[in-house]
């Protein structure tokens, strides 16, 4: 792999901010982001990426490629939790296996945004409709995970989920709601809306992303201690699963006929793991699962792996495959 791709990604200011946060924990600095701000940063990033995606969706239109991509995204969000569940069952009980599988079937919006920043830095074009795939991939993984819990737990442990509440939590959690809502706003307002909100959704974007990744670096470094409880199996799982999922996504994207930029974004969506929406849903619906397992693998291993090595690695594979 071309080392310059990794260097180019690492020297991206938001990624450097992530390292700065991790280093602060290792050096025992008292650096911290006040509690309300990370949530505000997260909401801002979701709104900005959703709105810009809606504007771009108007430009590209809804053609065969868009529809096939969205179908492939939903399919991956359903398949990944199923195959990873059976793999995880080799070492874990059904509750923890389902929670972790749902985490890896869902997505990380910040990893997606970081990949978009990487493509922009390299001057590689991509389409805004990929944000629609981002919005559609979060909920199916949660629902599939809960179905797996209901099927594979012992009879005496089975519970009747209130499925209306489960689906409501999966489809109307803050991340999905804001993404879809801002996407619709972008579609309705188009270029005029983009011009009006340009100082907010574009000029501020990378500064806010840098601060958010600074906070992610602080959290990831603190979660590394939790990995001592997981053993080598989950650490290897958290590194190898994204690579496998990205490879499957790459083949699907080639069959659909996506551009290299869109293929990278689709691969990153399939390779990422949720550390916000899915953990919140699992804590509510599957309290038997251990949060330190599914949060630490996603946040302390997969997230850093993707933004440091994964994104350049997937682009290298795409370049080879396209060539």
Q: Is 257 helix (H, G, I), strand (E, B) or coil?
A: coil
Task: Tell me the whole-structure pTM to 2 decimals.
Answer: 0.85
pLDDT of residue 33: 87
Estimate to the nearest angstrom the gap between the alpha carbon of 135 and the chain centroid: 10
Is the per-residue pLDDT at 247 higher than 70?
yes
Q: What is the pLDDT of residue 2?
A: 62
Which region, left, alpha or beta, applies to residue 96 given φ > 0 means left and ψ of -120 to 50 means alpha? alpha
Q: Which domains does the chain carry?
A: 3-322 (1.20.1530.20)
> Quick check: 304 and 220 in contact, CB under 8 A?
yes
Above 90 in pLDDT, residue 263? yes
Q: For 3-44, how does the pLDDT look when each residue is reduced to its tens digit (9 = 90+)?
A: 777 777 778 888 889 889 989 999 999 998 888 888 888 888
Q: How many CA atoms lie within 13 A of 314 on its CB side?
A: 37
Residue 72, C-beta contacts closer than 8 angstroms, at least 6 positions apart: 249, 252, 253, 256, 266
How do residues 58-73 score in pLDDT, each as one tens digit?
Answer: 877 778 888 999 999 9
């Amino acid at each position: 792999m071309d080392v310059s791709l990794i260097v180019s990604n690492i020297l991206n200011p938001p990624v450097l901010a992530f390292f700065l946060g991790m280093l602060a924990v290792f050096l025992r600095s008292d650096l911290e982001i006040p509690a309300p701000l990370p949530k505000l940063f997260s909401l801002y990033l979701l709104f900005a990426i959703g709105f810009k995606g809606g504007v771009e969706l108007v430009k590209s239109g809804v053609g065969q490629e868009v529809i096939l991509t969205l179908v492939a995204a939903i399919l991956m969000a359903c398949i990944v939790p199923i195959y990873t569940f059976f793999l995880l069952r080799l070492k874990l009980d059904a509750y923890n296996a389902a929670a972790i599988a749902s985490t890896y079937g869902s997505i990380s919006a910040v990893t997606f945004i970081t990949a978009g920043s990487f493509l922009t830095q390299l001057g590689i074009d991509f389409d805004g409709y990929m944000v629609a795939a981002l919005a559609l991939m979060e909920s199916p993984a949660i629902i599939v995970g809960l179905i797996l819990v209901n099927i594979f737990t012992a009879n005496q442990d089975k519970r009747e989920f209130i499925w209306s509440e489960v689906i409501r939590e999966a489809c109307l959690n803050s991340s999905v709601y804001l993404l879809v809502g801002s996407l619709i706003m972008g579609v309705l307002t188009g270029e005029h809306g983009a011009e009006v909100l340009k100082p907010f959704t574009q000029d501020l974007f990378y500064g806010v992303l840098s601060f958010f990744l600074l906070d992610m670096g602080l959290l990831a470094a603190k979660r590394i201690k939790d990995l001592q409880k997981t053993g080598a199996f989950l650490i290897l799982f958290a590194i190898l699963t994204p690579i496998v999922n990205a490879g499957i996504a790459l083949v699907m994207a080639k069959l659909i006929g996506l551009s290299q930029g869109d293929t990278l974004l689709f691969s990153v969506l399939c390779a990422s793991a949720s550390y916000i929406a899915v953990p919140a849903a699992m804590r509510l619906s599957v309290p038997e699962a251990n949060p330190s397992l599914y949060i630490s693998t996603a946040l302390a291993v997969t997230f850093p792996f993707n933004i440091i090595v994964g994104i350049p690695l997937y682009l290298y594979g795409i370049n080879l495959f396209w060539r």
